[in-house]
């Protein structure tokens, strides 16, 4: 299944091993990964790419590489991944944007495209975002994308916030 279509400023494509340098830079950045257990090394970034390639094959979606339409410059990743929430598999919209490009609305634009893809192409009825309580920027992206706080819960020994949106066709 193809990734979301382009937005005004962004294009999406599947990740490949040739994206390792860009992804290792993104996932290895301590500020981008401040709310993860640790920044990822190259091997972990390669495993991230492989995980998404498996999701593309098995689910028809995953996190896609995001680039600027005009220049092809690497922005980050954004997409949909299955996540366990209290024993239930939910589909999460996730996003990471290079530190140098943060604050320009790219995460919101990409997340909205992923949300619309989930609803219009995949026919999903619900979308979630699992966010650390301290990650205010990510919470704002979720809210701008129409997700609202449903609850706080414990995940991997850390408090998380679950933002949700029911996806109705055409809305």
Taking CA 168 as the corner, what is the angle to CA 81 and CA 124, rounded to the nearest 5 degrees?
25
Distance between CA atoms of residues 96 and 77, nearest Å: 5
Note the pLDDT tens digit of each residue in 12-53: 999 999 999 999 999 999 999 999 999 999 999 999 999 999
Residues 6+ apart with CB under 8 A from 69: 6, 7, 8, 9, 10, 11
Whether CATH 3.40.630.30 fits 10-166: yes
Q: What is the structure's pLDDT at 168?
A: 82
State pTM to two decimals. 0.95
Distance between CA atoms of residues 8 and 20, nearest Å: 26
Note the pLDDT tens digit of each residue in 44-98: 999 999 999 999 999 999 999 999 999 999 999 999 999 999 899 999 999 999 9
Note the pLDDT tens digit of each residue in 140-167: 999 999 999 999 999 888 999 999 999 9
Distance between CA atoms of residues 125 and 15, nearest Å: 26
Q: What is the structure's pLDDT at 171?
A: 58
């Amino acid at each position: 299944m193809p990734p979301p279509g382009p937005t005004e400023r962004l294009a999406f494509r599947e990740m490949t091993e040739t994206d390792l340098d860009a992804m290792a830079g993104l996932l290895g950045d301590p500020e981008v990964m401040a709310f993860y257990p640790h920044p990822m090394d190259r091997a972990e970034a390669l495993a991230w790419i492989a995980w998404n390639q498996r999701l593309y094959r098995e689910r028809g979606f995953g996190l896609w590489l995001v680039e600027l339409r005009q220049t092809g410059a690497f922005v980050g990743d954004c997409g949909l991944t299955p996540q366990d929430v209290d024993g239930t598999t939910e589909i999460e919209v996730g996003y990471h944007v290079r530190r140098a490009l943060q604050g320009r609305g790219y995460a919101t634009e990409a997340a909205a495209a992923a949300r619309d893809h989930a609803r219009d192409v995949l026919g999903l009825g619900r979308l979630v975002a699992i966010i650390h309580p301290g990650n205010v920027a990510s919470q704002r992206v979720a809210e701008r994308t129409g997700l609202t706080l449903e609850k706080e819960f414990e995940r991997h020994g850390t408090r998380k916030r679950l933002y949700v949106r029911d996806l109705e066709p055409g809305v």
